[in-house]
Amino acid sequence: MSNRPLSPHLSVYAFGYTMTTSILNRFTGVGLSVGLVLLVYWLTAVAAGPIHYARASRCLSSLPARLLYAALVVAFCYHLVAGVRHLVWDTGRGMERPQARRSAWIMGIVSVALMLLLGALLWGKWS
């Protein structure tokens, strides 16, 4: 074995707010892609006729499906707010460390507020 230096490992990096928000943004994007499969399944069942729609309706109204919907609402809200933050960064604003840290906190607070609002509207608390 040669004495060549190894590439940096994850342990070298400090786990900061920017890395955390970036990773969460990627995970929520993947989660939303998985949720798209559910939408395609439902649309296919609608197009296939009443028998298939009834079967899909039973499946998609179960408790695990409802928990998945809640997770998708969380992913959607976070991904939306993180996307707006990235759009602001594309204008060249908020790139300094204190501004980026503040925007990370604001992004978390706004996404939680949006999750609560959307969750209340979707599950009939205010309708």
Residues 6+ apart with CB under 8 A from 38: 60, 65, 68, 72
Per residue in 68-77, pLDDT (tens digit) is 988 999 999 9
| pTM of this structure | 0.80
Q: Which domains does the chain have, with CATH numbers?
A: 17-122 (1.20.1300.10)
Quote the CA–CA distance of 117 and 112 in Å, as a whole number: 9
Residues 6+ apart with CB under 8 A from 69: 122
pLDDT (average), residues 84-90? 93
Confidence check: pLDDT of 113 > 70: yes
